[in-house]
Every structure is written in structure tokens, then in C-alpha cells.
């Protein structure tokens, strides 16, 4: 007989925003469809949805300008172009990111330079400063999983060295540090609304900045390459804004969904965060399990718990034991994952970076005359010793944004049993 005890409990998927979809999102989409107006600049019964989202998102982050775009990768590409990043430039970034972060630099024609991480798994400001050269145009902070590192220090280093700071907040909608939102520390920031992110419309992205100049350039580049006048007509005569546009506009349906999700962002992130810190309370009772340094836990958006062990063997055993102790892993899902299997989040796992491949089969940016200084730059495992070491010993546990009491009890029991089996109590 298949009793309840025998049956593994299926945990919910990890996609934070979409688990909270409800009638509000349905109504928002229906409104745009009924208005026959899915395009951001005009339509039959034009709803101005993208404009409204831009205003609300800028206000939420605490910056002056926001530009909606089609996805986070496009937001990065547009942001680098707006900062004038190109051949001859170096862009500094941590080696823990997502492939899109470094890809956008390479497609800009610039050279990525990798920086090691601190105990928060974010870019270390001291290592950053050491790597700044006269060719450095920008640095990129990437708060992975909604945990912000020493972002104020990084911003200060960038300012002192007169380089741009871009915050890649694709994974950090709703995160903050001591009351200041992720995306409000640098010169420009990007967000993603792809399905794995805290708020989602399946795809979507945003660029935020306090700089009118960067905003205007980003606006031009994201559309046709030109700005618009007050009446909304293209102004092709302004020589400061004659670029090649990418055409990565946000559509009205995306904006309508994200406007609803923005109202739920506190609920989504607090549900992940609250349960994450229940698990932190459990693991804190044991020796040999280190937690990621989080300066302000109340600003953590909560989607991932990282646990670093004394050695690789224990970390691998811990992951296996969690599964043995009842945490069912959905195929292709995230519960729990060892950082060694974390794919293109880690620099040395990206074949096109390690192999210094070209954008589209022609030339590689490392072969450009302007980038001659970088022809011997290396991206193989070993160049970031602190990150490399963390990767060997760290397990991630993904926190779903909707867990019922039964799910929570199962997870907590699996954590307690695993800790008891492998570690010693304080």
C-alpha cells in the first residue's frame, strides 16, 4: 500500500514570481489584449503600460530614470553601449555571474577582466582596485541570488578611479542593503524579468540610472538608435544620439504583468527570506558549515542558501544526504545543487570565455588591434583562487517562494538529519 509516508513530497518549483501569479496578472494581460494595444509606443486603445512601469520601477528603486527592455541580456548590451564600452577598454567583473554578463562585454568589443570574490561571493573591492588600469572603463557588480556584497565600497573605488559602475541586478529585484535598493549604488543598473527571477513576465528587463545622459543614450540604443522629441517623433538630427539601435523594446503585456508583480515583490521575497533564515538557524548549530557573509539579512531577497564546508568531500556528501533524507530533486531543478555543477554561473565553465571565442565566427575580441594588450589574458580555472576554492566546497539550496507547512517541515527535517549525520553540534 502506498502510504503518505512512502510517497515523496513533491516540492514546488523554484520560479519565484510565477508561483505568485493570480487573477491580477490575468486581468492585466486581458486589459492589454482587449485594448488591442501590445506595442509600447502606440496602439488602438493605447494603455501607456511600459511608461507607467518605468515610472513605478524607478520610484521603487529610488532612481530618476528607468527604461523597460525585452530581457536582461539586452539591458546589459544597451547599458555597456550607453557607457561607450568598446574595443581598447577593459571591464572588471567577478568570476561568479551568469554567462550573459560577460557575453555582453565581449559582444561590445571590450576585454573582460575577472576579479576575485569576498565572503559574500560578490566582487572584492580590494581585488578590484588592484586590477584597475588606465584602460578600465567600467566595473560590474553582480549580486547573485539577491545577496549584496560590499557594494558601497565598490562604488567608492569606482568613483575614485573615475570608472563606471554597472550593477547587474538580474537576480536581485527586491534586494537591498541597509534600506538602499540594489540598483541604486552605481551609475547604471540592469534587471531581468525572466522566469527564474524574483518578479517575472517570462522575459523582460529594465535599465535604471540617475544620469540623464546615460538614460538618453540607452533609450536611443534600445530602439532605433535615435532619441525622440517631446511629441514622440524620432529626432534624427541630434548628432549626439545617432547610433545603431538594437530594437529590444519592452512590450505592453510584459509591462502590465511586471506592474502587478511589483506590487507582490515584498511578499515574494519575504516568503523566501523568512524560510531561508529558518534553515540558517538550523545549520548555525553545527560546526564545519559556513554561511555566506550577508551584511544585512533583512535586505536579502532570499532565493538561495549557500553553505560552505571544510572540504569538498563533506560538501558533496551533504548534498547527497539532503536528497537521501527526502528532498526530491525535480529533473533539471535546483534543490540542492553543488557549485561544481553550477554551470555557466562560474567563469571557468564557460567554453567561449576560456577558449576566447569570437562573437560570430569572424574575429575574436582578443585578436583586435585595439585589444593587443590582452592577447595573453587567461580565463581558465585557477585565476581566481578564492572563488575557485568556494566553488569546490559550497552547496546551494534553492528556496521556493511558495512552500506550505508540509514542505517546510520536510525540508527542515532533511536539514536537521543531514547535519546530525555529517557534522558535530556546537
In whole angstroms, the minimum distance from the beta carbon of 102 to ligand PLP comes to: 10
CA distance 350 to 397: 22
Query: Residue 228 has which C-alpha cell?
Result: 525622440
Cβ-based nearer residue to ligand PLP, 96 or 275 = 96
Question: Which residues are within 8 A (CB) of 232 and not within 5 positions of it... i.e. 6 or more apart?
Answer: 41
Residue 196 is placed in which grid cell? 527564474
* 402 is known as an active-site residue: no
From the CB of 389, what's the least distance to ligand PLP, in Å?
A: 21
Closest chain position to ligand PLP (CB): 72
Q: What is the CA radius of gyration of the chain?
A: 22
Three-state DSSP at 382 gives coil
Rounded to the nearest whole angstrom, what is the least distance from the CB of residue 142 to ligand PLP in the complex? 5
In the three-class reduction of DSSP (H, G, I as helix; E, B as strand; rest coil), residue 152 is classed as helix
Q: Please, what is the minimum distance in Å from the beta carbon of residue 191 to ligand PLP? A: 9
Q: What is the rounded CA–CA span in Å between residue 195 and residue 421? A: 36
Tell whether residue 205 is a contact of ligand PLP (CB under 6 A): yes
Q: Which is nearer to ligand PLP, 61 or 322 (CB)?
A: 61
Binding of residue 168 to ligand PLP (CB under 6 A): yes
Closest to ligand PLP by CB, 170 vs 307, is: 170
Between residues 116 and 168, which has the closer beta carbon with respect to ligand PLP?
A: 168
> Hey, which residues between 266 and 325 contact ligand PLP (CB under 6 A)?
none
Distance between CA atoms of 196 and 15, rounded to whole angstroms? Answer: 5
Contacts of 71 (CB under 8 A, 6+ apart): 192, 193, 194, 203, 204, 205, 248
Distance of alpha carbon 119 from alpha carbon 292, whole angstroms: 6
Q: Nearest approach, Cβ of 96 to ligand PLP (angstroms)?
A: 9
CB of 407 to ligand PLP, least distance (A): 25
57 to 96: interface string for ligand PLP, x by CB under 6 A: --------------xxx-----------------------
Per CB under 6 A, the segment of 84-92, 190-198, 288-296, 336-344 that binds ligand PLP is: 190-198
CB atoms within 10 A of CB 361: 7
DSSP 8-state secondary structure symbol assigned to residue 400: P
Minimum CB–partner distance for residue 170 and ligand PLP (Å): 3
| Contact status: 173 vs ligand PLP (CB under 6 A) | no
Q: Does 98 bind ligand PLP (CB under 6 A)?
A: yes
3-state percent helix, strand, coil for the chain, nearest multiple of 5:
40, 15, 40
Structural contact between residues 92 and 110, judged by C-beta atoms closer than 8 angstroms:
no
| CB closer to ligand PLP out of 120 and 371 | 120
CA-based max dimension of the chain: 77
Burial annotation 120-138 (CB, 10 A radius, 16+ → b, else e)? bbbbbbebbbeebeebbbb
Among residues 142, 199, 258, 289, the one that binds ligand PLP under rule CB under 6 A: 142
Count residues binding ligand PLP (CB under 6 A): 15
Among 173, 176, 194, 371, binds ligand PLP (CB under 6 A): 194
Stretch that binds ligand PLP, among 189-197, 239-247, 270-278, 290-298 (CB under 6 A): 189-197
Q: Write out 32-91 in H/E/C secondary structure.
A: HHHCCCCCCCCCCCCCCHHHHHHHHHHHHHCCCEEEEECCHHHHHHHHHHHCCCCCCCEE
Q: Which of 18, 101, 150, 184 binds ligand PLP (CB under 6 A)?
A: 101
Q: Would you say 100 or 371 has its CB closer to ligand PLP?
A: 100
Of 197, 216, 217, 306, the active-site residue reads 197
Instruction: Check binding of 192 to ligand PLP (CB under 6 A).
Output: yes
Candidates 98-106, 154-162, 253-261, 354-362: pick the segment binding ligand PLP (CB under 6 A). 98-106
Q: Which residues bind ligand PLP (CB under 6 A)?
A: 71-73, 97-98, 100-101, 142, 168, 170-171, 192, 194, 196, 205
Catalytic residue positions, numbered = 197
Amino acid at each position: 500500500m502506498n502510504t503518505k509516508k512512502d510517497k515523496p513530497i513533491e516540492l514546488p518549483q523554484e520560479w519565484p514570481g510565477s508561483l505568485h501569479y493570480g487573477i491580477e496578472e490575468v486581468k492585466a494581460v486581458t486589459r492589454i489584449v482587449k485594448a488591442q494595444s501590445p506595442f509600447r509606443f502606440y496602439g488602438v486603445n493605447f494603455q501607456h503600460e511600459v511608461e507607467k512601469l518605468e515610472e513605478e520601477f524607478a520610484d521603487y528603486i529610488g532612481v530618476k530614470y528607468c527604461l523597460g527592455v525585452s530581457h536582461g541580456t539586452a539591458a546589459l548590451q544597451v547599458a555597456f553601449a550607453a557607457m561607450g564600452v568598446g574595443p581598447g577598454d577593459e571591464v572588471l567583473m567577478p568570476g561568479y555571474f551568469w554567462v550573459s554578463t560577460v557575453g555582453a562585454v565581449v559582444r561590445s568589443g571590450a576585454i573582460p577582466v575577472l576579479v576575485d570574490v569576498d565572503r559574500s561571493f560578490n566582487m572584492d573591492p580590494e581585488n578590484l582596485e588592484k586590477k584597475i588600469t588606465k584602460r578600465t572603463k567600467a566595473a560590474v557588480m553582480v549580486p547573485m541570488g539577491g545577496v549584496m556584497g560590499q557594494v558601497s565600497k565598490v562604488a567608492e573605488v569606482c568613483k575614485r578611479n573615475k570608472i563606471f559602475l554597472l550593477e547587474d541586478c538580474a537576480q536581485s529585484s527586491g534586494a537591498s542593503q541597509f534600506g538602499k535598493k540594489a540598483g541604486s549604488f552605481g551609475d547604471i543598473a540592469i534587471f531581468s524579468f525572466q522566469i527564474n527571477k524574483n518578479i517575472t513576465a517570462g522575459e523582460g528587463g529594465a535599465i535604471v540610472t540617475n544620469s540623464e545622459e546615460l538614460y538618453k543614450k540607452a533609450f536611443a540604443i534600445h530602439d532605433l538608435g535615435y532619441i525622440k522629441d517631446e511629441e514622440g517623433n524620432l529626432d534624427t538630427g541630434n548628432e549626439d544620439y545617432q547610433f545603431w539601435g538594437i530594437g529590444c523594446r519592452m512590450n505592453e503585456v510584459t509591462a502590465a504583468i511586471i506592474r502587478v508583480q511589483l506590487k507582490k515583490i515584498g511578499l515574494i521575497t519575504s516568503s523566501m527570506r523568512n524560510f531561508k533564515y529558518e534553515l540558517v538557524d538550523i545549520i548555525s548549530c553545527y560546526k564545519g558549515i559556513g554561511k555566506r557573509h550577508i551584511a544585512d539579512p533583512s535586505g536579502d531577497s532570499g532565493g538561495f542558501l549557500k553553505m560552505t564546508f571544510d572540504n569538498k568531500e563533506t560538501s558533496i556528501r551533504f548534498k547527497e544526504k539532503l536528497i537521501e533524507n527526502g528532498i526530491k530533486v525535480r529533473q533539471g531543478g535546483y534543490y540542492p545543487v553543488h557549485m561544481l555543477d553550477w554551470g555557466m554561473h562560474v567563469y571557468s565553465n564557460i567554453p567561449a570565455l576560456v577558449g576566447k571565442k569570437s562573437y560570430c565566427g569572424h574575429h575574436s575580441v582578443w585578436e583586435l588591434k585595439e585589444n593587443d594588450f590582452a592577447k595573453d589574458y587567461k580565463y581558465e580555472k585557477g585565476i581566481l583562487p578564492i572563488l575557485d576554492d568556494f566553488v569546490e566546497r559550497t552547496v546551494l539550496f534553492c528556496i521556493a517562494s511558495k512552500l506550505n507547512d508540509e514542505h517546510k517541515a520536510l525540508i527542515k527535517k532533511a536539514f536537521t538529519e543531514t547535519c546530525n549525520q555529517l557534522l558535530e553540534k556546537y
